[in-house]
Amino acid sequence: MLLPIDIIVYIVILFFSIAVHEVAHAYVAYLRGDDTAKMAGRITLNPIPHIELLGSIIVPTMLLILKVPVIFGWAKPVPINYRKLKNPRVDIPLISVAGPVSNMALSLLSAAGIRLIKKSPNFEFGFGDAIETFLCVMLTMNIILTIVNLIPVPPLDGSKIITYFLPTKIAAKFLNINSHICLIILFLLLSSGITLKFISYAINFLR
């Protein structure tokens, strides 16, 4: 059973991870000519500007309490003015993929940190044990965020990435699929054994 301190650690890591995710979106948008997110103060690792009550607090906390195997959440979408982008057809997928890539980078850094601790047995059985546990949670959380966000279902990042490979009219219709239908599809995918197996494989591979 998760203790309150465990839940706090999970939430803190989730806040940090989604902050990095949103900063990646905002910064790439800025590099591609759109300063909307920068002007809104979204290029910051301070999680407060990124927090959305439902996606950042309520949903993750409920998933932890209910012991759901896939813990995830989301932040306030980064504001983007497509008219400011240099090449929207290329830039939108590029901005979208930046978020999952940032989470994968955090996973790899966590895995590297765990490896370093494993190479120092004396440190591992001391203070290093707590750090290793923290890094394991960081690795797991960011693998989940990476994989879930790459699912090509609106409004997840994967849906915008896939538009690069679709004709313009089909891409527009795809991104405007009824949100309720998207939520049902996403729920079915996340509750399926295939998605969980894929996430478990990725986590075990990095560990």
pLDDT at 1: 46
Q: Is the pLDDT of residue 69 over 70?
A: no
139 contacts: CB under 8 Å, gap ≥ 6: 107, 110, 111, 114, 203, 206, 207
Q: How confident is the model at residue 121 (pLDDT cuts 50, 70, 90)?
A: confident
The CA radius of gyration of the chain, in Å to the nearest whole number, is: 18
pLDDT at 34: 95
Q: Give the integer Cα–Cα distance in Å for 108 and 186.
A: 26
Phi/psi at 87 (5° precision): -145, 85
Give the number of other Cβ atoms within 10 Å of residue 18's Cβ. Answer: 29
Q: Give the integer Cα–Cα distance in Å for 123 and 142.
A: 25
Per-residue pLDDT reduced to its tens digit, 131-155: 888 999 999 889 989 988 998 888 8
Question: Which has more confidence, 53 or 66?
Answer: 53
Most confident of 31-35, 72-76, 113-117, 127-131: 31-35
Q: Is the dihedral of CA 37, 41, 46, 52 positive or negative?
A: negative
Per-residue pLDDT reduced to its tens digit, 78-116: 999 989 999 988 999 999 999 999 999 999 999 999 888
For the residues 183-203, what does the mean pLDDT come to? 77
Give the chain's mean pLDDT.
85
- Angle formed by the axes of helices 128-149 and 4-31, nearest 10°: 50
Quick one: tokens of 114?
A: 């765990």
Q: How confident is the model at residue 126 (pLDDT cuts 50, 70, 90)?
A: low
Count the domains in the chain: 1
Domain residues for 33? 4-206
pLDDT at 194: 76
For the residues 36-47, what does the mean pLDDT come to? 92
Rounded to two decimals, the pTM is 0.85
Query: Catalytic residue numbers?
Result: 22
pLDDT at 81: 93
